[in-house]
């Protein structure tokens, strides 16, 4: 039995079937991924892991028929790695998977998500790596300040046979999701997928989001019915200007383009009592030279300057009249705009 732990995984396997129309490939294996992604294939030696199992009844009421649950407790070793749980899925009814995760020592960079591996010929889990084909991926992941609740499925294009990952659009929008990596408490994650391609994501028995596999994933499963013609080009005489300068307009004779935007207020007067000879800033009379000040090293000490209190009531220093907007300012003349008779809306390729 592995004694050192970092994350506790309690996996509940509902004996329902997996039947959404999008997932026609039978999924054969569960992989609880509990480590950083592996860049290269790596051999994983056989491990003697004592896993207790027992039959229990679910205390939750998902929108699927009542099922028998098999509970498999598993604690990851040090260093953390991958755990594999074999199970075969059908594609005729609802899919419901839930598992519990506890980050006992917090988490800085890594994940605790499930991967449902695709059934492929000659699969050898001893060479499992991050590029091993999978059908569905679900669960929490974090690195630094980035955290998300993964929900990804690989969809086969019926036209060309290629596979593409479809990512849940709200994976980074789960409220207060960062708390699960710090509170060291167990959290229950649930994913329900129905045959009509509707799904629901729950955390700690609380619904986070309900949606559709066809509408809430990026890139979308169904492409747009129409696309821009990649070979189309804008005609040479295409005019996208909605407005144009009036071609016959002329600048008025009295238009002054030189007049400044602001001028000195001609009606301003210096306030009575203005102290012309008083400086606005004076040395702080309460400042003291620091005991460790060395004139030879630091230079002659000067007290810091503060606002002159004599200037607070009326003002002091050289008086200048304020500036105001120039009533005669017109700026550079431009011809008025009119509707463009040749306007053809914006051309988009």
- Residue-wise pLDDT for 138-184, tens only, equals 989 988 888 899 999 999 888 888 899 999 989 888 888 888 888 88
CA pair distance 322, 268, nearest whole angstrom? 7
Please give the angle made by the CA atoms of 164, 168 and 174, to the nearest 5 degrees.
155
Question: How many Å is the Cα radius of gyration of the chain?
Answer: 36
What fold, for 92-123+130-218? Answer: Jelly Rolls (2.60.120)
pTM > 0.85 = no
Alpha helices (runs of H) in the chain, residue ranges in sequence order: 295-298
Which letter, b or e, does each residue of 238-269 get, where b requires 16 or more Cβ atoms within 10 Å of its Cβ?
eeeeeeeeeeeeeeeeeeeeeeeeeeeeeeee
Q: 58, 101, 54: which is closest to 80 by C-alpha?
A: 101
- Residue pair 303/207 in contact (Cβ under 8 Å)? The answer is no
- What's the pLDDT tens digit per position in 76-91? 555 455 565 666 666 6
Summarize the confidence of residues 63-67 as an average pLDDT: 41
Distant-in-sequence contacts of 48-55, Cβ < 8 A, 24+ apart:
49/1, 49/2, 49/74, 49/83, 50/1
Over the chain, what is the mean pLDDT?
Answer: 76
- What's the pLDDT tens digit per position in 308-323? 999 988 899 999 999 9
Q: What are phi and psi of 151, to 5 degrees?
A: -145, 100
Which letter, b or e, does each residue of 52-68 get, where b requires 16 or more Cβ atoms within 10 Å of its Cβ?
eeeeeebeeebebeebe
- What's the pLDDT tens digit per position in 22-47? 443 334 444 444 433 333 333 333 33
Per the structure block, which two tokens stand in for 243?
Answer: 């407005």
Report the percentage of the chain scoring pLDDT > 70: 72
In the chain, where the domains are located: 92-123+130-218
Other Cβ atoms less than 10 A from the Cβ of 101: the count is: 25
């Amino acid at each position: 039995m592995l004694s050192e732990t970092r994350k506790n995984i309690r996996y509940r396997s509902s004996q329902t079937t997996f039947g959404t129309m999008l997932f026609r490939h039978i999924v054969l294996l569960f992989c609880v991924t509990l480590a950083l992604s592996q860049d290269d294939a790596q051999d994983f030696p056989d491990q003697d892991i004592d896993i207790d199992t027992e039959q229990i009844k679910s205390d939750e009421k998902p929108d699927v028929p009542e099922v028998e649950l098999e509970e498999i407790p598993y604690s990851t070793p040090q260093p953390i790695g991958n755990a594999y749980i074999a199970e075969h899925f059908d594609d005729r009814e609802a899919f419901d998977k839930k598992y519990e995760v506890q980050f006992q020592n917090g988490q800085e960079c890594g994940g605790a998500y499930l991967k449902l591996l695709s059934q492929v010929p000659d699969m050898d889990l001893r060479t499992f790596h991050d590029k091993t084909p999978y059908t569905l991926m679900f669960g929490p992941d974090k690195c630094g300040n980035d955290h998300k609740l993964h929900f990804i499925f690989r969809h086969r294009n019926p036209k060309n046979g290629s596979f593409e990952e479809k990512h849940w659009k709200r994976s980074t929008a789960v409220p207060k999701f960062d708390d699960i990596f710090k509170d060291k408490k167990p959290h229950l994650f649930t994913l329900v997928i129905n045959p009509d391609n509707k799904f629901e994501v729950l955390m700690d028995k609380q619904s986070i989001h309900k949606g559709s596999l066809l509408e809430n994933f990026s890139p979308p499963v169904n492409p747009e019915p129409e696309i821009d013609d990649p070979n189309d080009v804008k005609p040479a005489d295409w005019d996208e200007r909605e407005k144009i300068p009036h071609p016959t307009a002329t600048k008025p004779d009295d238009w002054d383009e030189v007049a400044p935007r602001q001028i000195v207020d001609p009606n301003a007067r210096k306030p009575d009592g203005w102290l012309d000879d008083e400086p606005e800033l004076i040395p702080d009379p309460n400042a003291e030279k620091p005991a460790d000040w060395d004139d030879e090293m630091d230079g002659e000490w000067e007290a810091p300057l503060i606002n002159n209190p004599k200037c607070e009531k009326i003002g002091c220093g050289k008086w200048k009249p304020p500036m105001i907007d120039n009533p005669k300012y017109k700026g550079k003349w431009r011809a008025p705009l009119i509707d463009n008779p040749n306007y053809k809306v914006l051309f988009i390729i």
